[in-house]
């Protein structure tokens, strides 16, 4: 049987692909556990400088959690199931390198929670976004809590309380995604973003991602204090000095 989660590594870039196109790349407990394991292994390899997460085919990024499984849950198994969804989201937020969601279609429920746990979202123009849980008698939970900070409380409430969907253009206007391109240009746009990340200091990018998570999770004063310490720590390696001197030297060259 083909694995539901495929991992690829090419130099400094890793890709994780959900291989369930016939199921809309929906996720049951087995696939959620596979994703948590895949992210953990990649983070320890040593970690790549960037990770791309996507779904197989051109219809869905992640169409949501498996309704086949969720229909049979009780209170105890429901808690275990949603903790797995949170485990995937937390692994992405803790991942030491930037994570790009390559959004190639439907991104619903748990799929949207996973997408907003990535650092950047680049979407094909046919992508659709939504949080339909209230239609099925359950609230949207875990990393749905990131939505008010990302798009504002009112817009988050519209998504969460109505169960309605957004098209890619609306998602871009709301700040839910960072780029929208035609499907034929999706890989090109992802690759261009990867090039920008790889051109930056690896040390600084990793420190920046860690700080952004702290800013999300802690009070403002604590986030600023952590930022000051991170700024000072960056000088231990000598890399900032070397990069700044090289920049200044290049600027002083004749003809510049």
Catalytic residues: 113, 133
Length of the chain: 256
C-alpha to C-alpha distance for 62 and 223, rounded to whole angstroms = 32
Q: Any idea what DSSP says for residue 65?
A: B
Closest residue by Cα to residue 101 from 136, 50, 146: 50
Kindly give the interhelix angle for 29-43 and 75-94, rounded to the nearest 10 degrees. 20
Paired strand residues for 54 = 17, 102
Instruction: Yes or no: say if 128 and 59 are a contact pair by the CB < 8 Å rule.
Output: no
Paired strand residues for 218 = none
Scanning the chain, the segments in alpha helix (DSSP H) are: 29-43, 67-70, 75-94, 110-117, 147-151, 153-162, 168-174, 186-198, 202-217, 220-233, 239-252
Q: Which residue has the tokens 């040593």?
A: 46
In the three-class reduction of DSSP (H, G, I as helix; E, B as strand; rest coil), residue 19 is classed as coil
C-alpha to C-alpha distance for 250 and 48, rounded to whole angstroms = 30
């Amino acid at each position: 049987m083909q694995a539901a989660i495929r991992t690829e590594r090419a130099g400094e870039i890793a890709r994780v692909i959900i291989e369930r196109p016939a199921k809309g790349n929906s996720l049951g407990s087995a696939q959620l556990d596979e994703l948590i394991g895949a992210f953990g292994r990649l983070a320890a390899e040593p970690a790549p400088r960037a990770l791309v997460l996507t779904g197989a085919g051109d219809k869905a990024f992640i169409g949501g959690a498996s309704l086949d499984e969720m229909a049979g849950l009780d209170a105890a198994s429901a808690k275990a199931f949603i903790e797995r969804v949170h485990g995937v989201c937390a692994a992405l937020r803790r991942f030491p390198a930037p994570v790009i969601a390559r959004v190639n279609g439907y991104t619903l429920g748990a799929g949207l929670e996973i997408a907003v746990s990535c650092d950047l979202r680049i979407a094909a123009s046919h992508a659709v976004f939504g949080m339909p849980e209230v239609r099925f008698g359950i609230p949207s939970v875990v990393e749905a809590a990131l939505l008010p900070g990302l798009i504002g409380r009112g817009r988050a409430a519209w998504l969460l309380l109505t169960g309605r969907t957004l098209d890619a253009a609306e998602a871009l206007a709301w700040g839910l995604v960072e780029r929208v391109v035609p499907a034929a240009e999706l890989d090109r746009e992802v690759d261009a973003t990867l090039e920008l990340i790889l051109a930056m200091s690896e040390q600084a990018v990793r420190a920046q991602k860690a700080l952004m998570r702290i800013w999300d999770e802690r009070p403002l004063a604590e986030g600023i204090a952590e930022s000051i310490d991170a700024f000072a720590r960056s000088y231990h390696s000598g890399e900032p000095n070397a990069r700044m001197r090289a920049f200044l030297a290049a600027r002083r060259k004749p003809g510049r």
